[in-house]
């Protein structure tokens, strides 16, 4: 079981370039999400998905797009990179969909190892 | 809106000493509370969670936390730390107003254990 796999591990972009951060999970999880982690800021939710074909915005969605065409994959697209998007990005998934009853949190979030992105 | 405050950005402690990492949350409705740990260059792992029931929650690696509704706190404790506990710890909350659908994380506390 690979768990949650993120690629690439490191990326350097120039301002204005676009790219896609990949996230794949092999646990048949319905719920997937993207967070960014910045020093002194903790983790902030960018976008999330409760199943194939369904996505929603989190706390900081501007400048990012997502899609969920399959259960396994949840790519994050940066449309026109800006220095403010320099961060570490984490993908996380869980079997249950948070919010669907108390039992939903009996399945914890599984995190990938992150993608460190620098925008110059 | 739900929010989390971790009062200490860094906590230095000697090996085998006890430690408490503080977490306060802001929400006027029912909450779920979590502690996650992040080791260097890795993602986050769940340490423990409070959903309901007993206010004292035990987690992995000897950690425990106590939910105090009147003080809106969820402090994390360990009676005797090891060098291997050196990591960053995040408190998180999910509340009824959000339909428990999103987790809000605190800014993190770095636990530094020295010999």
B22-73: pLDDT as tens digits: 999 998 788 889 999 999 888 889 899 898 889 999 999 999 999 999 999 9
Cα–Cα distance for residue pair B32/A104, rounded to 1 Å: 11
DSSP B26-50: E-SS-EEEEEEEE-TTS-EEEEEEE
Beta bridge partners of A116: A10, A88
Per-chain mean pLDDT for chain B: 91
B59-110: pLDDT as tens digits: 999 999 999 999 999 999 999 999 999 999 999 988 777 666 678 899 999 9
Weakly modelled stretches of chain A, pLDDT under 70: 1, 97-107
- Whether pLDDT at B3 is above 90: no
Q: Which of B41, B46, B107 is facing A42, going by the closest CB pair?
A: B107
Which of B9, B25, B40, B43 is the mutation pick for testing A, counting most A CBs within 10 A?
B43
Cα–Cα distance for residue pair A50/A93, rounded to 1 Å: 10
Nearest CA in chain B to A41: B107
Q: What pLDDT, on a 0 to 100 scale, did the predictor assign at position A98?
A: 64
**Chain centroid to CA B68:** 13
User: Is A98 an interface residue toward B (CB < 8 Å)?
Assistant: yes
Q: What pLDDT, on a 0 to 100 scale, did the predictor assign at position A99?
A: 58
> Scanning the structure block, which residue is given the tokens 């794949």?
A24
Spell out the residues 6+ positions from residue A80 whose beta carbon is closer than 8 angstroms to its own: A16, A17, A18, A63
Cα–Cα distance for residue pair B103/B18, rounded to 1 Å: 28
Query: Is A105 within 8 Å of B44 when comparing Cβ atoms?
Result: no
How far is the alpha carbon of A83 from chain B, nearest alpha carbon, in Å?
21
Cα–Cα distance for residue pair A64/A62, rounded to 1 Å: 6
Q: What pLDDT, on a 0 to 100 scale, did the predictor assign at position B95?
A: 79
Residues of B whose CB is below 8 A from A98: 94, 100-103
Query: Is A58 within 8 Å of B9 when comparing Cβ atoms?
Result: no
Q: What is the DSSP letter of A73?
A: B
User: Is A48 an interface residue toward B (CB < 8 Å)?
Assistant: yes
Q: What pLDDT, on a 0 to 100 scale, did the predictor assign at position A48?
A: 92
């Amino acid at each position: 079981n690979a768990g949650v796999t993120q690629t690439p591990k490191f990326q350097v972009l120039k301002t204005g370039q676009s790219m896609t951060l990949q996230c794949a999970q092999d646990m048949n999880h319905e719920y997937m999400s993207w967070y960014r982690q910045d020093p002194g800021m903790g983790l902030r939710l960018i976008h999330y998905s409760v199943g194939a074909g369904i996505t929603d915005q989190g706390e900081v969605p501007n400048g990012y797009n997502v899609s969920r065409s399959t259960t396994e994959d949840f790519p994050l697209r940066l449309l026109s990179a800006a220095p403010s998007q320099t961060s570490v990005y984490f993908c996380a998934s869980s079997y249950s969909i948070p919010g669907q009853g108390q039992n939903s949190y009996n399945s914890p979030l599984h995190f990938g190892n992150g993608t460190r992105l620098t925008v110059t | 809106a739900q929010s989390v405050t971790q009062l200490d950005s860094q906590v230095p402690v000697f090996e085998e000493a006890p430690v408490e990492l503080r977490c306060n949350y802001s929400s006027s409705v029912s909450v779920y509370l979590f502690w996650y740990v992040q080791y260097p260059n890795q993602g986050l792992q769940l340490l423990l969670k409070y959903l309901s029931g007993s206010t004292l929650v035990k987690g992995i690696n000897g950690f425990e936390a106590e939910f105090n509704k009147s003080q809106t706190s969820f402090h994390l404790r360990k009676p005797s730390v090891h060098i291997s506990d050196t990591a960053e710890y995040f408190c998180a909350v999910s509340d009824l107003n959000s339909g428990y659908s999103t987790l809000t994380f605190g800014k993190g506390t770095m636990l530094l254990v020295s010999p």
